Chain A
Amino acid sequence: MTTLLQRRELLVAGIGLAVSWRAAATPAEMDAAILDFTGGAPVREGKIGFEVAPLVENGNTVPITLSVDSPMSASDHVQAIALFNSGNPQPQVALFRLGPRAGKAIVSMRMRLATSQKLTAVARLSDGSHWSRTVDVVVTLAACVEG
């Protein structure tokens, strides 16, 4: 499956700064990446706590905390949490592998957002079930960028 990628010029308000980067991954690419992670298993919405600021003033460093309410016991725990995005050049962000020794299924990291877009977290539980949560994040830009 091939995708056409175009150059894009972005004008920052009033400053006239031109920045070029590859076009974003399409939502279809994000779906394909999620499919790769789940292996085709059914995915239900729920169980995931997704902490991210709805409005981000600089896309370079966006703090995110993902959590799953799970006893994290040998028989009932989170095996992995994967994070995907719809608007960056690549759909994958990170894949965290946990297990009963993790104690709590709470992971924090910081990611980059090239533009306003959707973020989807998918958790795989020890019983093989998959759960997801999607959030919308709006990204603005710092006004005085280095020229």
Chain B
Amino acid sequence: MKRGAAAVALLLAACAAPPDTRRSGLAFMTPATQALQRDDTQNPGMLWVQDGAALWSRAAGTSGRSCADCHGDAPRSMRGVATRYPRLDASLGRPVDLGERIAQCRVRQGATPPPAESQERLSLQAYVAHQSRGLPIAPDDDPRLVPFRERGRQLFERRIGQLNLACAQCHDQLAGARLGGSTIPQGHPSGYPIYRLEWQSLGSLQRRMRNCMSGVRAEPHAYGAIELIELELHLMQRARGMPLETPAVRP
């Protein structure tokens, strides 16, 4: 009798919640490429994670401190961190992404800030984000982020470029359909920085978004532009709850 009641409760709960139709880019890849991501011994992104681990313990800048000196053991201290970015930088009065936060910290240690897409920045970013692998994306609920996130949503829905396409048209409406020989993914930021086969290298979400903008023949926003951060805020909210996969492999 008790089992029957439990079964009914479960059925009611299942009926109440709409099915989550969100799928990571992983699901849209061929089995061979999926295998590349799932196997840490084959995932090329792990080369950057390894590099990041080495950089974490290496002193940098005039302060002579390494990341480890303040943050200790990364698997413990950085766990969950990447799931919450971009976050507001109170002194700048605007949100920053994880890469920019890392660069800022380097500056505080008296080191030159690693430029966007540099080996150093990507490796540290990959290493930090890797500590959140498997954890659900959990955007920061800071109310000050709301206007930036809202602008990100508008950017996502705005037509751009000579091809006059909005991100939403491909990645919301046409996800699962085909463009050329490839399946259009939903465009979730769930594995960044990613090893993109097209790049034969690790790269950030900002690089990937700039690719898309070039793809529709629009002028891509510069690295570090607030628009790219706003877009990331929207994308992370859109992907809330999905597990982080860093370092992901994508075609």
B30 near A142: Cβ-Cβ < 8 Å: no
Q: Does B119 contact A (CB under 8 A)?
A: no
Residues of A within 8 A of B (CB): 12-15, 52-53, 55-58, 60-63, 140-147
A13 near B180: Cβ-Cβ < 8 Å: yes
Q: Does B199 contact A (CB under 8 A)?
A: yes
Q: Does B29 contact A (CB under 8 A)?
A: yes
Q: Does B35 contact A (CB under 8 A)?
A: yes
Complex partner residue of B29 from A14, A57, A60, A143, CB under 8 angstroms: A57
Q: Does B33 contact A (CB under 8 A)?
A: yes
| Chain A residues, CB < 8 A from B18 | none
A144 near B215: Cβ-Cβ < 8 Å: yes
B200 near A63: Cβ-Cβ < 8 Å: no
| Chain A residues, CB < 8 A from B32 | 52-53, 56, 62-63
B251 near A57: Cβ-Cβ < 8 Å: yes
A144 near B212: Cβ-Cβ < 8 Å: yes
Cα–Cα, bound, A58→B212 (Å)? 17
Cα–Cα, bound, A146→B117 (Å)? 15
**Interface SS of chain A:** loop
B180 near A146: Cβ-Cβ < 8 Å: no
Q: How large is the interface on B (under 10, 10 to 19, 20 to 34, 35 or more residues)?
A: 20 to 34
Residues of B within 8 A of A (CB): 29-33, 35-36, 42, 44, 179-182, 184, 197-200, 211-212, 214-215, 217, 251
A142 near B251: Cβ-Cβ < 8 Å: yes
A140 near B180: Cβ-Cβ < 8 Å: yes
| Chain A residues, CB < 8 A from B214 | 144, 146-147
Assuming the contacts A13-B180, A57-B33, asked whether A145 and B251 have C-beta atoms less than 8 A apart, the reply is no
Assuming the contacts A13-B179, A143-B180, asked whether A56 and B30 have C-beta atoms less than 8 A apart, the reply is yes
Task: Write the chain A residue with the least CB distance to B33.
Answer: A57
A58 near B179: Cβ-Cβ < 8 Å: no
Distance in Å from the Cβ of A140 to the closest Cβ of chain B? 3
5 sample A-B contacts, Cβ–Cβ < 8 Å, listed by A number: A56-B30, A61-B44, A143-B181, A143-B182, A145-B215
| Chain B residues, CB < 8 A from A55 | 30
Cα–Cα, bound, A143→B215 (Å)? 8
Cα–Cα, bound, A141→B212 (Å)? 15
Cα–Cα, bound, A56→B199 (Å)? 16
| Chain B residues, CB < 8 A from A147 | 211, 214-215, 217
By Cβ-Cβ distance, the 10 closest A-B pairs, closest first, are A140-B181, A144-B215, A147-B214, A58-B251, A13-B180, A53-B32, A143-B179, A58-B197, A143-B182, A60-B197
Task: Write the chain B residue with the least CB distance to A108.
Answer: B42
B251 near A146: Cβ-Cβ < 8 Å: no
